[in-house]
């Protein structure tokens, strides 16, 4: 087996001591489409609102947080992502040479709550539309713990 030189990275939160909850949730939401697919630089582009070829090719411009940090310099966005990694909301795993983003357990707990809320709102939109039957096939690729959380939220609405 050939030895692969991993691409190194250096984390620098630039003195950030804390991030507001809405920023933590936005960064995690932006990372959702990149987990084990992309790294810190790609997440910066999503959060900055880039229309680079790779963003458009993978539909990352459709992310609800695309452009969340539009007004910040890229290095400040990267510092926030680095803070998230250092505070164990996100982590880095290598796939061969490339450092890719993954959720750390605290980050996944927040993100599955955020995504299950989004899915619940999507259900409401589907129900009020005239399209029948409902196509729920997109849920099959979701993790079991998120689906259980979603079902608990559906039950909690007491809405038939």
* Interacting residues of 83 by C-beta distance below 8 A, sequence separation 6+: 13, 16, 19
How confident is the model at residue 121, as a pLDDT? 92
Same domain, 27 and 46: yes
Where residue 2 falls among pLDDT bands split at 50, 70, 90? low
Instruction: Give me the mean pLDDT over the 93-122 stretch.
Output: 93
Cα(136)–Cα(38) distance, integer angstroms: 27
- Please, are residues 91 and 104 in contact by the beta-carbon 8 Å criterion? yes
Instruction: Locate the DSSP E strands across 3-155.
Output: 90-95, 98-103
Instruction: Return the closest-CA partner of residue 98 out of 5, 31, 3.
Output: 5
Q: How many domains does the chain have?
A: 2
From the number of C-beta atoms within 10 Å of its C-beta (0-12, 13-18, 19+), residue 78 rates as buried
Q: pLDDT for 108-135, tens place per residue?
A: 999 999 999 999 998 888 888 877 777 7
Question: Does 31 lie in the same domain as 99?
Answer: yes
Domain that holds residue 89: 21-103
Residue 55 and residue 117 in one domain:
no
Q: How much of the chain, in percent, has pLDDT values that exceed 90? A: 76
Domain stops at, among 84, 103, 122:
103
């Amino acid at each position: 087996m050939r030895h692969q030189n991993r691409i190194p990275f250096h984390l620098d939160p630039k003195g950030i001591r804390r991030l507001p909850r809405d920023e933590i949730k936005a960064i995690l939401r932006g990372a959702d489409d990149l987990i084990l697919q992309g790294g810190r630089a790609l997440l910066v582009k999503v959060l900055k609102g880039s229309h680079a070829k790779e963003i458009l090719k993978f539909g990352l411009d459709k992310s609800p947080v695309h452009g969340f940090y539009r007004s910040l310099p890229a290095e400040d966005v990267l510092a926030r992502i680095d803070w998230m990694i250092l505070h164990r909301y996100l982590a880095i795993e290598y796939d061969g040479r490339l450092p890719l983003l993954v959720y750390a357990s605290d980050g996944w707990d927040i993100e599955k709550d955020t995504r299950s809320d989004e899915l619940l709102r999507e259900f409401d939109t589907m129900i009020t539309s005239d399209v029948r039957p409902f196509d729920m096939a997109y849920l099959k690729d979701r993790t079991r713990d998120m689906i259980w959380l979603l079902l608990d939220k559906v039950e909690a609405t007491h809405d038939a």
